[in-house]
């Protein structure tokens, strides 16, 4: 049964729209925890477009469930992670012009940079996951870096426009999931998952964690964070 990591970045997006102090993503994280979140995920981007350094530090002191910091494999952010020490870091690609994380990390092309970052994080006991596309060569390259987990990008599944395309993307994720677990890596998935499309993904054998943000925060605006998390948790575990 998959654990639910709730990504609270978009609570900070609303706050940053006015550069004010509300809504506070730390409050949202606490309510998500009360609603049944197994972990809180947040992305400290280099451009600081939503989550701020203060959010990360206050959340570390406040939230009891595991904190998963998403970040680029860049030294400035790595130094912050080494200082704050979240339970887990997920390395993601970052482009300034993108609306959200568009594709998986190219672990093969960026091996040295990713390895430098992974080695530093693992040396202080932080678990590391790599956010990659469901591609066998990328999974194998990730394994070689000694990471604990990989998170498979579910964006193509989420964006599929026909039932046929969606079934194909699901098949690709299932197969990549098998490769992942056969290599002894923990299997996580996320991106673009919603109340409407999450059930087949949650049913994939061996998927240990789903990270879901936008859809939960969007629903939370209507029904409150606790309720939104509770509804998603029910879909994942039923
Ligand atoms: N997992 C990773 C690695 C991400 O970068 C994101 C987006 O920040 C998510 C999961 C959550 O995606 P969404 O907001 O589409 O649910």
For the chain, 238 residues long, the average pLDDT of each consecutive 10-residue run is: 96 97 98 98 96 97 96 97 98 78 89 97 98 97 98 98 97 98 98 98 96 98 98 95
Q: What is the pTM of this model?
A: 0.96
What pLDDT, on the 0 to 100 scale, is given for residue 103?
A: 87
What pLDDT, on the 0 to 100 scale, is given for residue 101?
A: 64
Q: Alpha carbon 218 to chain centroid distance?
A: 17
77 CA from centroid of ligand 1 (Å): 18
Judge whether 12 and 19 are in contact, CB under 8 Å: no
Q: Would you state the torsion angle of the CA atoms of residues 76, 77, 82, 86, taken in this order, to the nearest 10 degrees?
A: 170
If one residue of 92, 107, 150, 191 were mutated to test the ligand 1 pocket, choosing by the most ligand atoms within 8 A of its CB, it would be 191
What pLDDT, on the 0 to 100 scale, is given for residue 122?
A: 98
What pLDDT, on the 0 to 100 scale, is given for residue 94?
A: 81
What pLDDT, on the 0 to 100 scale, is given for residue 1?
A: 86
Q: Please state the domain count of the chain.
A: 1
H-only helix segments in the chain: 9-18, 25-34, 53-62, 75-84, 111-123, 136-144, 155-159, 163-182, 198-202, 214-223, 225-237
What pLDDT, on the 0 to 100 scale, is given for residue 129?
A: 98
Residue 214 CB–ligand 1 contact under 6 Å: yes
Judge whether 33 and 40 are in contact, CB under 8 Å: yes
Task: Find the domain containing 98 and state its range.
Answer: 3-237
CATH classification at residue 162: 3.20.20.70
What pLDDT, on the 0 to 100 scale, is given for residue 96?
A: 63
27 CA from centroid of ligand 1 (Å): 20
What pLDDT, on the 0 to 100 scale, is given for residue 212?
A: 98
Q: Among all residues, which ones are annotated catalytic?
A: 43, 70, 191
H-only helix segments in 35-135: 53-62, 75-84, 111-123
At 95 the three-state DSSP class reads coil
């Amino acid at each position: 049964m998959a654990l639910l990591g709730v990504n609270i970045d978009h609570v900070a997006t609303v706050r940053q729209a006015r550069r004010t102090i509300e809504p506070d993503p730390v409050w949202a994280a606490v309510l998500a925890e009360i609603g049944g979140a197994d972990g809180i995920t947040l992305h400290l981007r280099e451009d600081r477009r939503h989550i701020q350094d203060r959010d990360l530090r206050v959340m570390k002191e406040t939230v009891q469930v595991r904190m998963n910091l998403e970040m680029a494999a860049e030294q400035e952010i790595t130094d912050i992670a080494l200082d704050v020490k979240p339970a887990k870091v997920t390395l993601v690609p970052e482009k300034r012009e993108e609306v959200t994380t568009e594709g998986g990390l190219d672990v093969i092309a960026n091996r040295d940079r990713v390895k430098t970052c992974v080695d530093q994080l693992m040396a202080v006991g932080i678990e590391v996951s790599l956010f990659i596309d469901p591609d066998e060569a990328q999974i194998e390259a990730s394994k070689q870096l000694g990471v604990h987990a990989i998170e498979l990008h579910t964006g193509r599944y989420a964006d599929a426009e026909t039932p046929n395309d969606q079934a194909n993307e699901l098949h690709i994720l299932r197969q990549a999931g098998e490769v992942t677990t056969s290599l002894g890596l923990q299997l996580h998935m996320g991106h673009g998952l919603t109340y409407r499309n999450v059930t087949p993904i949650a049913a994939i054998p061996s998927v240990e964690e789903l990270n879901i943000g936008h859809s939960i925060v969007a629903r939370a605006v209507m029904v409150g964070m606790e309720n939104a998390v509770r509804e998603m948790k029910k879909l994942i575990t039923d």
